[in-house]
């Protein structure tokens, strides 16, 4: 459909505005909305946006510690991807599109996270590889500050308490072009999980942002409030946004293997990701809430190892089966949550895994138990270490892994690290309860 035809269709449908969205370095969605007749300009020359969004921290404070963005001067353009425009079912007067951030003259801007993932996907294609990706999205539901449902976990009775919301989610996701694989009441108090069908990486990251918009609109309609935070409070189970990926060479899923794990290039993809997992986790689970969530015994992936169908493993290999199809094999990254920028999370995951293929790496042994139940000497003997548990640990992991800078670029990585330092500095004289409370509804 031409952009002219798209504009006419949206106006005829009663759409008044176009919301163009991106995610910042805290995983927080940001947006600009223009009247619908500005659709052409939004897709061609974009919308003015301050360059300082790259150095907003999780509480909207601006840090000037990154030398490249150390003054209040500067502007960028947010250019809508009009191929992804959708009229929002839960907000019918608005259409939605993801956007890329470009420099004021239209050239590439080094802090454009969507552009980073687009480049990684193009680099994969140059080596004959494609990828599929999809998220599991966990969130908690509240009504007037009280639990939105009271369980039991995984039970249909829990969802009857929020039946109208669930119906709206299913209907609105379908109308917005989002394919849900399944939805259920999760383990934690008032927790719900849904999973999105796998698609190409850029679309998967776009879909994750659109899913948040769709969920919030449905919740507001039905008097509910949602928290996507990695750990809404110390009394909650954490909200993981588990990232599933598979890597393909033509029609072959490289992760197809057997009951003991993938073989060949699929094994090398796993090995590359495992090698860089401490630094990857600093991108995919970057916030102070993320660090609080990574507790042994909570299916969060607190130690660096992999396993076959092991839900304590941060890298969980999900084999295909004759029943479902061997091509359904994938690798689940559990150490990932809503505070991760979805484009950067996918970019580092795919790039570090692909580096394992390029170098022909072999993964260590898989484990089917929880290393959190082992003593320290057992973990040391098996080469299983804890993932970063403090901001300093995250800094050290990023500094020790040059591949991350190779993916993000030095400017974006420096801005990302400055934002993390700003968050850590703001929390120094604050209780953990207050830190988690401040993040509870940010994502």
pLDDT in tens, 248-269: 999 999 999 988 999 999 999 9
pLDDT tier, 397 (very low <50, low <70, confident <90, very high otherwise)? very high
CATH for 119-439, options being 3.40.50.300, 3.30.590.10, 1.10.510.10, 1.10.357.10: 3.30.590.10
Tokens 């591949």 — which residue? 403
- The domain made up of 3-112 has a fold known as Ubiquitin-like (UB roll) (3.10.20)
Fold match between domain 3-112 and domain 119-439: no
Q: Which pLDDT value is given to residue 300? A: 83
- Digit-coded pLDDT (tens) for 361-392: 999 999 999 999 999 999 999 999 999 999 99
Q: 36: Cβ–Cβ under 8 A, 6 or more apart, which residues?
A: 7, 10, 11, 15, 16, 17, 18, 95
pLDDT at 298: 79
pLDDT in tens, 137-190: 999 999 999 999 999 999 999 999 999 999 999 999 999 999 999 999 999 999
Q: What is the pLDDT of residue 299?
A: 83
127 alpha-carbon distance from chain centroid? 25
Q: Is the pLDDT of residue 297 over 80?
A: no
Domain ranges of the chain: 3-112, 119-439
Q: What is the pLDDT of residues 319-364, one digit of tens each?
A: 999 998 999 999 999 999 999 999 999 999 999 999 999 999 999 9
Q: Give the residues across from 126 on adjacent strands.
A: none
Please say whether the beta carbons of 18 and 34 come within 8 A.
Answer: yes
The residues, any chain, with a CB within 8 Å of residue 419's CB and separated by 6 or more, are 25, 26, 55, 56, 57, 58, 63
Query: Considering the entire predicted model, what is its pTM?
Result: 0.97
311 pLDDT above the threshold of 90: yes
Query: What pLDDT score does 121 carry?
Result: 98
Q: What percent of the chain has pLDDT over 90?
A: 95
CB atoms within 10 A of CB 408: 25
Neighbour tally for 195: CB within 10 Å? 18
Q: What is the pLDDT of residue 116?
A: 98
State how far the Cα of 342 lies from the Cα of 260, in Å rounded to an integer.
Answer: 30
Distance CA 155, CA 186 (A): 9
Per-residue pLDDT band for 81 (boundaries 50, 70, 90) equals: very high
Query: In this model, does residue 235 exceed pLDDT 90?
Result: no
């Amino acid at each position: 459909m031409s952009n002219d035809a798209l504009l006419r269709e949206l106006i005829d449908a009663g759409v008044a505005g176009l919301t163009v969205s991106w995610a910042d370095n805290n995983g927080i969605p940001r947006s600009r909305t223009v009247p619908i007749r500005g659709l052409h300009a939004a897709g061609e020359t974009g919308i003015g946006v301050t360059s300082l969004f790259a150095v907003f921290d999780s509480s909207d404070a601006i840090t000037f510690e990154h030398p490249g963005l150390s003054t209040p001067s500067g502007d960028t353009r947010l250019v809508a991807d009009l191929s992804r425009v959708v009229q929002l079912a839960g907000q019918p007067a608005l259409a939605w599109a993801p956007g890329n951030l470009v420099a004021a003259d239209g050239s590439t801007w080094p802090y454009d996270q969507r552009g980073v993932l687009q480049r990684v996907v193009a680099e994969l294609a140059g080596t004959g590889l494609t990828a599929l990706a999809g998220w599991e999205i966990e969130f908690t539901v509240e009504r007037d500050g009280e639990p939105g449902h009271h369980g039991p976990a995984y039970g249909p009775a829990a969802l009857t308490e929020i039946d109208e919301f669930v119906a709206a989610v299913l209907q609105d996701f379908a109308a917005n072009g989002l394919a849900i694989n399944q939805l259920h009441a999760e383990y934690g108090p008032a927790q719900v999980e849904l999973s999105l069908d796998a698609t190409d990486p850029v679309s998967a990251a776009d879909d994750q942002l659109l899913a948040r918009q769709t969920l919030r609109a449905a919740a507001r309609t039905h008097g509910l409030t949602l928290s996507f935070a990695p750990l809404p409070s110390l009394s909650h189970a954490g909200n993981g946004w588990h990232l599933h990926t598979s890597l393909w060479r033509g029609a072959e899923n490289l992760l197809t293997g057997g009951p003991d794990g993938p073989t060949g290039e699929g094994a090398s993809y796993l090995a590359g990701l495992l090698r860089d997992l401490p630094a990857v986790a600093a991108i995919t689970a970057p916030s102070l809430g993320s660090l609080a969530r990574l507790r042994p015994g909570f299916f969060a992936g607190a130690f660096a190892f992999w396993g076959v169908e092991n839900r304590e493993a941060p890298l969980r290999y999900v084999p295909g089966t004759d029943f479902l199809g061997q091509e359904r094999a994938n690798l689940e990254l559990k150490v990932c949550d809503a505070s991760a920028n979805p484009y950067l999370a996918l970019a580092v995951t795919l790039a570090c895994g692909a580096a394992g293929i390029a170098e022909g790496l072999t993964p260590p042994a898989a484990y089917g138990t929880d290393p959190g139940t082992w003593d320290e000497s057992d973990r040391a003997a098996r080469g299983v270490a804890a993932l970063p548990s403090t901001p300093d640990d995250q800094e050290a992991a990023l500094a020790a892994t040059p591949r991350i800078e190779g993916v993000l670029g030095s400017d974006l990585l420096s801005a990302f690290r400055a934002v993390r330092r700003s968050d850590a500095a703001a929390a120094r004289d604050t209780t953990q309860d207050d830190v988690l409370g401040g993040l509870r509804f940010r994502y």
